[in-house]
Amino acid sequence: MLDGRWAPGHLNELSAQECWDLLATHEVGRVGFCDGRGAVMLPVNYTVHDRSVLFRTSPDGLLGQHLRWGYAAFEVDEFDDYTQSGWSVLVRGPSRAADPGELPETDEARPVPWAAGDRSLVLRVTPDQVTGRRVMPS
Amino acid sequence: MLDGRWAPGHLNELSAQECWDLLATHEVGRVGFCDGRGAVMLPVNYTVHDRSVLFRTSPDGLLGQHLRWGYAAFEVDEFDDYTQSGWSVLVRGPSRAADPGELPETDEARPVPWAAGDRSLVLRVTPDQVTGRRVMPS
């Protein structure tokens, strides 16, 4: 039955399960952290594992410096310019260097960066908050 | 001539002009700010005006509270899962409520949110940093 939640342009909150289902459909998300001035956001390739988000980065890079032991935001979204609709999911939580013994067993479940270079540090974000929203087609 | 910068997976830095050109091609980006715990990232519809980024939000929402007078990050990107390539642009700078007299004159140059609701506050991010990267197809 149509109600206000399906009205054009209405912003629906997603359930945690919907958020996890959507996170599993993508390969690229954006990691956010705070430096002395404000937020920084950088795209990464990721996988979802045990209700956490895994990505690889350089031990010496910005993400490695701030998120080997830090607090991360992670965002994935998809939008359609034509119907002016889409969804976004935001994950927030502590970020730590992943224990090699706790990584997924299969290669395809492990994150593989598109970008070349030394990206030997695997970081795991374990969410304490998972939220998402969907904007309905107008 | 082919050199290392065009190698598969190589990460090229973009010039500021390239960043602005790419920003002008999209309608949705992600605004980031820091709350007491860490970064928050939320998608918005935006336009580029006078080398600044404009978007509309609710005066009472999270973005309105933090960025009426704050420091913002703004990210736009585009990726192709098949060729494993793409680009991202990150803008950082002070965010202020835009002066109505300084908004673009034409409607199409003003940001129009897809999401319904009161989004009467126009925020302007004036970058003090514009950076971008492109990862070459693998």
CB-CB contact of B63 with B40 (8 Å): no
- Quickly state the pLDDT bin for B60 (edges 50, 70, 90): very high
Q: Find the Cα–Cα–Cα–Cα dihedral B67, B72, B75, B76, rounded to 10°.
A: 50
Cβ–Cβ < 8 Å for B52, B125: yes
Residues of B in contact with A71 (CB under 8 A): 37-38
Per residue in A106-129, pLDDT tens?
988 999 999 988 899 999 999 999
Residue A88 near chain B (CB below 8 Å):
yes
ipTM above 0.85 for this complex: yes
Nearest to A30 among B33, B75, B86 (CB): B75
- Nearest CB partner across the interface for B41, out of A75, A86, A117: A75
Nearest CA in chain A to B70: A38
Q: Tell me, what's the pLDDT at B138?
A: 74
Long-range contacts of B95-101 (CB under 8 A, 24+ apart): B95/B33, B95/B67, B95/B68, B95/B69, B95/B70, B95/B71, B95/B123, B95/B124, B95/B125, B96/B68, B96/B69, B96/B123, B96/B124, B96/B126, B97/B68, B97/B69, B97/B121, B97/B122, B97/B123, B97/B124, B98/B54, B98/B122, B98/B123, B98/B124
CATH homologous superfamily for the domain A4-135: Electron Transport, Fmn-binding Protein; Chain A (2.30.110.10)
What's the confidence (pLDDT) of residue B20? 98
Residue A6 has pLDDT above 70, yes or no: no
pLDDT tens readout for residues B13-42: 999 999 999 999 999 999 999 999 999 999
Count H helices, E strands: chain A? 2, 8
Does the pLDDT value for residue B61 go beyond 80?
Answer: yes
Question: A65-106 pLDDT, tens per residue?
Answer: 999 999 999 999 999 999 999 999 999 999 999 988 889 999
From B113's Cα to the closest Cα of chain A, the distance in A is 9
pLDDT band at B5 (very low <50, low <70, confident <90, very high): low
The secondary structure element, H or E, covering residue B65 is helix B62-67
pLDDT at B1: 44
Residue among B40, B90, B92 minimizing CB distance to A73: B40
B137: closest CA of chain A, how far (Å): 8
Residue A83 near chain B (CB below 8 Å): no
Question: Which is more confidently placed, B10 or B24?
Answer: B24
For residue B16, the distance in angstroms to the closest alpha carbon of chain A comes to: 17
Residues 30-69 of B with CB under 8 A from A: 30, 32-34, 37-43
